[in-house]
Amino acid sequence: MARIFNFSAGPAALPEAVLERAREEMLDYQGSGMSVMEMSHRSKTFVAIAEQAEADFRELLNVSDDYHVLFLQGGATTQFAAIPLNLTAAGDTVDYVDTGSWSKKAIKEAGKYCSVNVVASSAETNYDRIPGPARWQLSADARYLHICSNETIGGVQFHNLPDTEVPLVADMSSDFLSRPMNVDQFALIYGGAQKNIGPAGLTVVVVRKDLCGNARPETPTPLDYAVQADADSMSNTPPTYGWYLAGLVFAWLKDLGGLEAIDAINRRKAGKLYAAIDNSNFYHSPVDPAVRSHMNVPFTMPDAELDAKFVAGAEERGLSGLKGHRSVGGMRASIYNAVPEAAIDALVEYMHEFENEHG
């Protein structure tokens, strides 16, 4: 068996130790005689798995009792609709910052339910920066302010949170659990699991309790936060195996030393890659240095004709998933929590060699 270095944007690399543990437990979970996949979500065994995962998640992010933590289906995209359905009434206004492709999708979906005010946008510069909050055109009466804390495609990340009185909502799909975060600054945080948390199919929502219970009557029942909170995320069948794997990832993160420890590792990894880009005249980062993502690192070369060659050569060396998104071009290295530092070292070495040959 050969494991390769996986730079995919998501679904993405999972910690090897987690996969091994899942393998060990695959056929007979702790003497139950069955796989977690085959177990009733109402069984004592699964409820214990679910509770432990939630407890570990709360511990990692220091989530207080003022918040529900929900483990749902549907992906972040479903939350693009669930958020306005739960937090607004018809005719309400909401504020969104447009920092990239995922913000844009969230804005479009919210527009089906309320009046969306785009407070600022970096679309004109192909999403290479985050417009300074001082210039945001906030509404007087927005129900919430939405940001995407890390744009997976453009590679821009909020390193400082906006200071706002309005309830702050964040799509953290691609930087959840990658660094410490003061949850109390948010009304709601959400994300699909398939980057830093676990496999695709699981969606994690952290929502302030006092904001739940006013969903619009037409809200589909599984998307109603109050209903799901009352049912411990089991109003319908939850994504049980994803929840279990997420629990293994949380335990792995705790063993590693928690979010301060992973943040230090992530900064070191990103630092090495950006240094390789900045110290060359061959590679280029299209992103404003102040907001460069520690998770998704796009880079280009002087001649786009070389992109395919770079990616093919990388694949040959066991460096997978480096093709950039078509909207940005070039390459993109996604370096989530589970991507080991050795993967970045191998990539940097390959970049040097490729530059020597083609630069």
Binding site for ligand PLP (CB under 6 A): 10, 75-77, 102, 148, 152, 171, 173-174, 192
Tell me the C-alpha distance between 55 and 39, whole Å.
21
Q: How far is the CB of 174 from ligand PLP (least distance, A)?
A: 4
Q: What pairs with residue 192 in β-bridges?
A: 203
List Cβ neighbours of 218 (8 Å cut-off, separation of 6 or more).
Answer: 85
Q: How far is the CB of 75 from ligand PLP (least distance, A)?
A: 3
Output the six-digit token pair for 202: 């699981």
Q: How far is the CB of 201 from ligand PLP (least distance, A)?
A: 9
Q: How far is the CB of 347 from ligand PLP (least distance, A)?
A: 21
Residue 307 C-alpha from the chain's centroid: 26
The single residue of 195, 243, 252, 323 carrying the catalytic annotation is 195
Nearer to ligand PLP, 100 or 162 (CB): 100
Q: Phi, psi (5° rounding) for residue 312?
A: -65, -45
- Is residue 136 part of the annotated active site? The answer reads no
The single residue of 102, 104, 175, 224 carrying the catalytic annotation is 102
- Is residue 102 part of the annotated active site? The answer reads yes
Nearer to ligand PLP, 190 or 283 (CB): 190
Tell me the C-alpha distance between 338 and 223, whole Å.
30
**C-alpha neighbours within 13 Å on the C-beta side of residue 20:** 6
- Please choose, from the candidates 197, 187, 196, 92, the residue with its C-alpha nearest in 3D space to the C-alpha of residue 146: 187
The single residue of 95, 171, 175, 263 carrying the catalytic annotation is 171
Tell me the C-alpha distance between 266 and 346, whole Å.
16
Nearer to ligand PLP, 177 or 306 (CB): 177
Output the six-digit token pair for 50: 């679910």
Nearer to ligand PLP, 191 or 276 (CB): 191
Residues with active-site annotation: 102, 171, 195
